[in-house]
Every structure is written in structure tokens, then in C-alpha cells.
Structure 1
Amino acid sequence: MALISDKLLNPIIKKRIDLTLHNKNVKDIEISITPAIIENPNILSLIWDVRVTGKSTENSGIIEHDWILKSATLNEVVRKYAQVDRLFKKEIYVYDKIIPAYYQLIEEHNVQEPFAVIPRMHLYFTDTLQEALVLENLKRSNYGFISMKSSEPCTHGEAMLAMKSLGKLHALSYALREYKPEQFKKFTEYAKNRFNINANIELYAKHQKMCCERVFDAIINGKDKSTLTLFKKFMEKPFEYQMQAIKMGAMGPYAVLTHGDAILDNMLFKYGDPDTPDKPTEICLLDWQFCRFTSPALDLSQFIFLSTDKQFRDNHYAEMIRTYYYALCSYLTELKCDADQILPFDILQLQLKRYSVYGLCMAIMILHIIMNVKPIDDNYRQNMKATDIEATFSNTFAKNTDSYTSRIRDIVLDFKDYGYFEFLN
């Protein structure tokens, strides 16, 4: 077991939490910070349980808080590779500006249908090497990550609840554009994807090429020559296709503020019905670091191709799309918007054909890592080098070749059957 120790927590952050509470008229403060995830595979951030007790200077009442602290890695190589400072500032911006604007829309239009749960942000810090945000601890309300083997698909209930939440999320983006265009424009400018020219794009592209070669080897052993031809065209410039999907998806009237990393790892589920204990009743969306302004198809394709297998898609693909669209239209109607005008169903289908290449790219790049999640020990996390990042891709391929090969081959075959290779040029 790889234990996460307290030495990975920047001590300045704890002092800043203490100072913030003092400034809010709290005295006799005691702060306990312990790892929330013991075996943590994440190299970008660390997650902590924060327990706060104190007394109000105004009425001497006891104050207690259960929070989650998300702090950025201090490893300079990882910070540069992933632009960690930008990711944290974007996530803080979403919690601080965009989500409250959505809840205000819901209140102004008296929307009765609940939106996905978003944890409340209590504190945040954006200074370099101190990036952190403090959120309410939803584990106290019986939310939890799903427990599943990485080789298995999500359940039907989890998939449909996720699609509904994405439909409502995108509906709020469209409604914000309708009612508050200036505010919407400000949000979209902030959320537009910008790659730092000094970032390690070359290394990222190298990883992507290596992944595509593995997938090509998996497909070439099959009998579907037409799929092989289409994939050969795709692998000529996968990074360009991915960037094109993001950029072109932001053009025209159908772009939305997306979640940007719509996978099961960023969702919490609550199972609140004792009569159907295996069916989730509520969902919480987490991790907004990759929020973008682009086509809704990017969220949908990423979730579908990374969180389901072929058997599930064969049985439920159309149902997932219908569930998403029904939730989108229902929420737009509650928000007093014309859903048929904002995103007709045939336009949604066209968006999926044009921009689902993003989901394919993400599946090829990270599915083998998700399927082989391993905790990282303290020493490795602190001293990780560029060669270690590259080795992460090679090592996980070596450890789960068969399962990854089967899963990714099915994704490429489905991608061809759905007609999603048609727009490659």
C-alpha cells in the first residue's frame, strides 16, 4: 500500500486556512488535515480531509467544519507538463463564477427539476505553488465514488444519470447565453482552450502517436479492412484532429461550456432508494479543470467511449443519446427557452459525427492508464521526471495489453459503424 503522508502538504496552505478563519471571527482553531485518498494515482493534485473546530468570537458558539482540500503538486516537471497552475485557476473560476451563475438562473426561473450536485467551495488560493481549493465534504452526505473494476462498464443507472446531468449542464450554458449574453461571453473567453507554446506539446503528441501505433497493431489482426483504412488516415495526425475538434466545436451557435473531463472518476453517486439499492438516485460532478467552450459532443463522446464497453453501447447507445437530449430539452423548457431552436436533434447528431473524434483521442490516450490504476508513493511523486511521465504510458501498456487491446478495438469499430470517421479531412 502506498501511503500518502502529511509531508506532501504545503504547510503554508494550512496556515492560510487558519488565517482565513481568524479573519472570519473564529478563535481557538484546531485544524486536522489527513489524506482523503490513501492510494492516490493522481500526479497533478492531492486530496485531503480537513476537520476544523473553533469558537465564534461573536457568540462563543462552537464551529465545526468537514471539508475536502485539493492542493496542487509541487513537482516542477509535472507542473510544467500539465500547466497545473492554469488548471487550478480554471477550476477555481468555475466554482467561484460559473456555477453560481447557473444556480442563479435556476432560482430566477423557479426551476423545479434539480441539477447535479456541485460541492460548495469555501476557500481557495491561487498563488504559485500554493494553488488549492477547499470544498464541502460530500462523503458526509453519503456520496461516494463508484466501486468497479476498470475492465467493467458503468451500470445502466450510472450511465443514464450521467447523461441526464450533462444534458442539464449544457442546458444551463445555453440559457445563460440567452439571458445574460455579456456574462456568458466573459465565461467563454476564460474557458477557451489555450495551449501554452512553452508546454510539452511535443511530448504529448509523442505519447499520442505511440498509443495510436498500439491501437493499429490491435486492429491489423482483425478482419475489418475498411476500419483499418479509416484508422490509418486518423493516425496520420491525431493531435491535429483533437485540437480541431476543440477549436471547431467552439464555432457557431451550438457550443456550450462543457465539463471537459466527463469520466466516471470525476463523478460521485448517491444511492438513496432502499428499494433499489444498486441504482443511483443522485450524482455529483467534480473536477472542472478542463472546462472548455466547445461542442457538447466532446463531453458526450468522452463519457461514452471511456465509461462503457461494446456490449453496453450495442444495447444502450441510442438510449444514452436520447436520455441526454430529453434532459437537455426538458431543462431548457423549464428555463423558458426554445429547445428546438437552440439545439435540434439532427444538429446534435451532426455534432456527434463531427466532433466525437475527441472522445476517440481521449480513449486511446488514457484508457489504458484508467484500466491499470496504480498508487504512487511519496518519493516517486516528489521526484518525478519527464522520463517518468513517458514511462507511465509504456509501463501501463505492458501490464494490460490484452484488456486494453480488446476494449480499444471495439471503440474503433463502433466509431466506424456510427459514421464518426466521415468528417476526417
Structure 2
Amino acid sequence: MAFNKDEMHAPCWLNEGFFEKVLKQSENDAALTVAACKIIPGTRPGDHFASIIFRANVTYKSRGKASEVSLVIKTIPEDDGLKRDLLKDGVIFETETIMYTTVVPEMHRLFRSVGDDTELGPRLLYSSKEPKLVMVFEDLAKRNYGMKNSQLDLHEAKIAYTKLARWHAASLHLADTIPIITKLDKGIGSITNEEFDKMWDNNIGLLAKVCREWPGYEHYGDRVDNLRKGISQKTKDIYKFSESTLYNVLNHGDFHYKNMMYKTVEGKTQDILLLDYQLSIWGSPAIDIIYSLYNMCSTETRDNHRDELIKFYYDEFVASLNKFGYLGKIPPLINLHVEILKNGHLETFLASTFLPFMMVTFEEMMGDQLNQNPDEGIELFDVSDPEKMMEMMLAGFRRPIYVDAMKKYLPVFLHKGLLDL
């Protein structure tokens, strides 16, 4: 089984004393004692990026009774690298803490006030900035939620868009009374640094390279190469608040299928819960819609049901606003489509950088680049290694599933002007 290299060894401070502090708070029992804890890697390679995740099984005694609990711990890596550089100032942890402690609980209260039992995600049990940035959550696996290895079909996408529409509607309704909602501004476009800009630039270069390998598509190579001059800045501008935006909502900001957990009954997805609120940002709803179309939906879902899903999302958004008793002017569907078109360069950026990462598993991309540990039979991948990341991305760009998709999308981008800057 493959794991991220930086999650193979938990930091020394994740010990019985730490979990005793966590459980004393979450269980409201100052006399609680922890007997033992076992820590393992929390996710597979590719399931997340901007953090490290561990799962802990903790045995403890509270109010005279012995108990056991499974916890999920999110923190920052100890070693230097891309992830540590991205996380070291704590900004995105601050956003996620605000989301879990203030915004999402208010959304849940709003839902319950109108008889809606929608649940958005896991409970945050503990968070701290000192001495380390750390968050501890309930383990959704204990409630029979699991991860998926592939992007979503139409049925699953509708469940996810139902959650997103209610999230967006709640944020619009609560924006005046919970002003912090409109202050969240640290999305993907604003937190990336020079190393990330270089990685995106290199990825676009890889796409240009492989375009020249496809008969009949060679002429797209130069057009894609030219995107390197300004597509990153175009993307950053999309994530900035603008007075020209027709309407704003609180975007999840990282709405892809690996940031979700799925409850499956007899082989069919029944519910989806959302993870990772660290990039939530106030801005155009086009941010989440475009991002999810490429990073959440399968090729078949995206290509054959795009407008159907946008209308499905919009109808749920309007229904939720009406249920909440929203007194403002409800934006028409055409405004959403205008926002999606205005921000269309985000489609070009995502298709050129994120999409192969979402369409192909890490194991398929990496092949023999995974480092086998002969003693434990464990495969390791270091996501902080830029060289390996680039090798992996080139393999992804050459996978038939991605090649077939881009042969359809590049002419569409060309005809919409999305290959021009």
C-alpha cells in the first residue's frame, strides 16, 4: 500500500499527553486519562496536499469507564519543502479554524431552524496554533464514510452539488450577520508562492510538449506555451474580490472529489461529507462551479451533463434561499452563466495543471517511482519533492484518459478565446 513519505513517522509531540489534552476538552472531563495511542498514516498519496494527516486510535478512561476512540489529526510537516512553505505562516489553518468553529456551525444552526438536517462535514474536536498548528477531527470512517478512487458520476455529483448549493445559499443569507464570511480571502490564487508558480508554469510546459506529440494537435503546442506568460496571474485575479462580480458567495475553494467522504449502501453512494475548508473564500460562485466541474466530476459527467448540473445546483441554491427566508434579490441563472464565462480562464488553468492529477491515481502516475520499503512492504511517495512531482505530472499528461479529454477541450478553449491572454 502507498503512503506519503512525510506521514510515515508521526512527530514526537503526538503522544499520550497530547491526546489527553484533546479528549479532556472534547469530553469535558478534567480527570480523563489516556492509556495508549497508536498512530498510522491518515491517507493515501494524492488524497490531499497542503498538510499531513494521521489517524490515531486512542484508549482512555473517563468517568470510571474505559473507552476507545479514533481521531484524525491534521498538521504541518516537520521537514522543509513545498507543503511547509505553503503552510508555515498559518493563514490557511486560520481560515479552516474559523470555518469549523464559527461559519459551519452557524450554517448548521440555520439549516436546523428551517427543519433541514443537512450535515456538511466532520466535527472539529480540538485546534491549536501553539506549539504546533494542529486540528483534531472525529474519524468519519467510524461512521462508515470512506474515500473514492475516481471522480464522480452524475448521481454522486448531484449529491455533492446539493451540499454546495446549500453551503453557498447559507453563506449569502448569513453574510450580513456573520461578517467574517465576507472577510475570508485566502484562496488558491492568493496563497501560492514562487515555487508553486514555477510548478504550474512547468506543468503548462509539459502540456505544450505532449500536444506536439498528438497528430493534428501540434499547432496547440505554441498556443499552450504562450499561456505561461500570464495564466497564473489571470487565475490569481479570479480569486480576488471584485466589485464587478454579479454576486458573491462563500466558496468552499477546494471542491474536489478527494476532499469528500462517501457513505455507500449496497454499492450506491447515499451521502457525501465535505473536508478541508482551509481555502474557503468569498467571491464569485464560478470559482467553486468551474473548479468542481474539472476536479470533482468524471469526464462523462462533465462532458455530457455540464449545463444540467449547473441548473441542478442553481435550483437547489434558490430553493435553499427561499427556505431560509432570504430577503435580498435572488440572482438569476443567467448571472451564474455570465460569471462562469467571465472567469473562463480558470477552466484553462485547471485543465492544464490540476486535471491529470484528478483523473489518474498517484499509483498510476508514479509507476516504479514509488519507493518500495522491503522490510514493511510499503510504498512511499514524497509529495514535497518537486522533481518527482514533475515526473509524475508528465506521466499523467500522457495517460490516454487525459489525452482524450484535452483533445476535446483544447478546441473549445480556442473557440471561446480561453487560449488567449
| Structure 1 and Structure 2 fold alike (TM over 0.5) | yes
Q: Taking structure 1 as reference, are residues 104 and 407 closer, same or farther at Cα in structure 2, changes over 3 Å only? A: same
Give 1:159 shift. 1.4
Q: TM-score, normalised by structure 2?
A: 0.82
CA distance in 2, matches of 1:208, 1:355: 18
What 5-or-longer segments of structure 2 have no aligned partner? Answer: 374-378
Which residue number corresponds to residue 12 of structure 1? 13
- Work out which of the residue numbers 131, 134, 143 in structure 1 matches 2:133: 131
Letter in 1 for 2:74: K
Letter in 1 for 2:21: L
Give 1:349 shift. 0.5
CA distance in 1, matches of 2:348, 2:242: 15
Point out the structure with the larger strand share: 2
SS of the equivalent of 2:172 reads: helix
SS of the equivalent of 1:81 reads: helix
Deviates more, 1:296-305 or 1:351-360: 351-360
Q: Is the 8 A contact 2:35 2:61 kept in 1?
A: no
Q: Is the 8 A contact 1:5 1:35 kept in 2?
A: no
Q: Is the 8 A contact 2:286 2:343 kept in 1?
A: yes
CA distance in 2, matches of 1:237, 1:206: 12
State how many pairs are aligned: 402
Letter in 2 for 1:255: N
Deviation per CA, 1:267-293, whole angstroms, max 9, x where unpaired? 111124xxxx34322110001121111
Once the two structures are superposed, the pairs formed by residues 25-424 of structure 1 within 5 Å of their partners are 25-37=30-42, 39-41=44-46, 42=48, 44-57=50-63, 60-84=64-88, 85-108=90-113, 110-112=114-116, 114-127=117-130, 130-148=132-150, 153-178=151-176, 180=177, 183-184=178-179, 186-193=180-187, 201-219=193-211, 221=214, 234-248=227-241, 252=245, 254-272=247-265, 277-337=266-326, 341-370=329-358, 371-374=360-363, 388-398=385-395, 401-403=398-400, 404-416=402-414, 419=416, 421=418
Letter in 2 for 1:211: N
CA distance in 1, matches of 2:299, 2:410: 10
Give 1:324 shift. 0.7
Which residue number corresponds to residue 376 of structure 2? none
SS of the equivalent of 2:157 reads: helix
CA distance in 1, matches of 2:383, 2:45: 18
Q: Is the 8 A contact 2:264 2:270 kept in 1?
A: yes
CA distance in 1, matches of 2:74, 2:19: 13
Q: Is the 8 A contact 1:372 1:396 kept in 2?
A: no
Point out the structure with the larger helix share: 1
CA distance in 2, matches of 1:304, 1:145: 19
Give 1:356 shift. 3.6
SS of the equivalent of 1:30 reads: strand
SS of the equivalent of 1:139 reads: helix
Letter in 1 for 2:81: V
CA distance in 1, matches of 2:417, 2:193: 25
Q: Is the 8 A contact 2:231 2:349 kept in 1?
A: yes
Q: Taking structure 1 as reference, are residues 140 and 382 closer, same or farther at Cα in structure 2, changes over 3 Å only? A: closer
CA distance in 2, matches of 1:194, 1:43: 12
Q: Is the 8 A contact 2:256 2:295 kept in 1?
A: yes
Q: Is the 8 A contact 1:72 1:88 kept in 2?
A: no
Deviation per CA, 1:156-201, whole angstroms, max 9, x where unpaired? 21111112211111111111125x1xx22x23324444978xx873
Letter in 2 for 1:287: D
SS of the equivalent of 2:52 reads: strand
SS of the equivalent of 2:306 reads: helix
Q: Taking structure 1 as reference, are residues 55 and 378 closer, same or farther at Cα in structure 2, changes over 3 Å only? A: farther
Identity of aligned residues (%): 19
Q: Is the 8 A contact 2:93 2:133 kept in 1?
A: yes
Q: TM-score, normalised by structure 1?
A: 0.81
Q: Taking structure 1 as reference, are residues 362 and 74 closer, same or farther at Cα in structure 2, changes over 3 Å only? A: farther
Letter in 2 for 1:347: N
Q: Taking structure 1 as reference, are residues 251 and 65 closer, same or farther at Cα in structure 2, changes over 3 Å only? A: farther
Q: Is the 8 A contact 1:27 1:56 kept in 2?
A: yes
Give 1:378 shift. 11
Letter in 2 for 1:99: V
Give 1:141 shift. 1.4
Q: Is the 8 A contact 1:29 1:55 kept in 2?
A: yes
Give 1:134 shift. 1.0
**What root-mean-square deviation, in Å, do the aligned CA atoms of Structure 1 and Structure 2 show?**
3.6
Q: Taking structure 1 as reference, are residues 106 and 312 closer, same or farther at Cα in structure 2, changes over 3 Å only? A: closer
SS of the equivalent of 2:137 reads: strand
SS of the equivalent of 1:11 reads: coil
